Amino acid sequence: MTSLPESPSAAPEGAAPTAALSADAPLVRRSGFQFTVWPLWAVLAGVAGAVATVGTDLRPPAELAAWEAGAEYTVTPADMLELDPFLGRIGHVAGLVAIIGLLVFLSAWRRRVERPFARSTAARVVSAGLLATAGAALLGYGWRGALANYLGPEAGLYGEDGLFVYYMLTDFGAYLPWFGALVSALALAWMAFVERSVSRLLGTVSGVMAIGLLVGVVATGVPGLPGVLMPVWLAVTGLWLTLGRSLVTDAEITR
């Protein structure tokens, strides 16, 4: 293992252990191929998030038929009883899995990246964006689960107008939370090109996707666009950090 020239200097003698780990602990770089396990939680979160957001998007059959025919269709409360509650339950469960994966990955990122790279503001922005996504997703996927529940086991407790309220909440509810991941992608790009602690190829992918989606949101006014691609970005990022070479996964704290 060779010492990194850009590593922080060693902590002064007598410094508190926390300070030594967070800001002043010297880093060394592991040699050879390394399979890093903890980023796989991001892969799980990304795959489950894609299923919960896009793969199980609840739409009335009449709307889907009109879309395939290239025609416009106005969804009304009368369409609510035609929704598939089983698909909604799959989306809810997949969403919960995505949230669990996000929170575990976030915790591992804070321990293994934020602490040794304590002077990196971008590393903290990555954490903040993912935490925002996890928190907001609990509502988005929860509304989908509630709608599935009132269409299935507790059908009849609410009329079509009440179900339509839940439907409108789920329309963008699962998509909106992923804007936080978009902010994380921008921060990861900064870490790649400014701090040089992440693979620049991964930084390029992150930056292009995040900026493209951000421009798309501003240009089209569609707030849910990040939810279409950011789960994919998260899965790719986790796989890249698992198999690829980046300082944030190659570095180890020596004390």
Q: What is the pLDDT of residue 196?
A: 92
Q: If DSSP codes are grouped into helix, strand and coil, which group holds residue 251?
A: strand
Whole-number pLDDT of residue 73: 93
Whole-angstrom distance, CA of residue 83 vs CA of residue 75: 11
* pLDDT on residue 138: 96
Provide the pLDDT for residue 53: 97
Q: Would you write out the chain's pLDDT as a tens digit for each of its 255 residues?
A: 334 444 443 334 333 333 333 444 455 555 555 788 999 999 999 999 999 999 999 999 999 999 999 999 999 999 999 999 999 999 999 999 999 999 999 999 999 999 889 899 999 999 999 999 999 999 999 999 999 999 999 998 999 999 999 999 999 999 999 999 999 999 999 999 999 999 999 999 999 999 999 999 999 999 999 999 999 999 999 999 999 888 888 765 433
- Virtual torsion, Cα 47, 132, 58, 83, nearest 10 deg: 130
Q: How far apart are CA 27 and CA 30, in angstroms?
A: 10
* pLDDT at residue 32 in the model: 52
* pLDDT (0 to 100) of residue 252: 52
What per-residue confidence (pLDDT) applies to 5?
A: 41
User: pLDDT value at position 219?
Assistant: 97
H helices of 115-225, in order, are 121-151, 160-173, 179-193, 200-220
CA distance 171 to 123: 32
Q: Which residues contact 109 (CB under 8 A, 6 or more apart)?
A: 123, 126, 127, 130
pTM listed for this prediction: 0.84
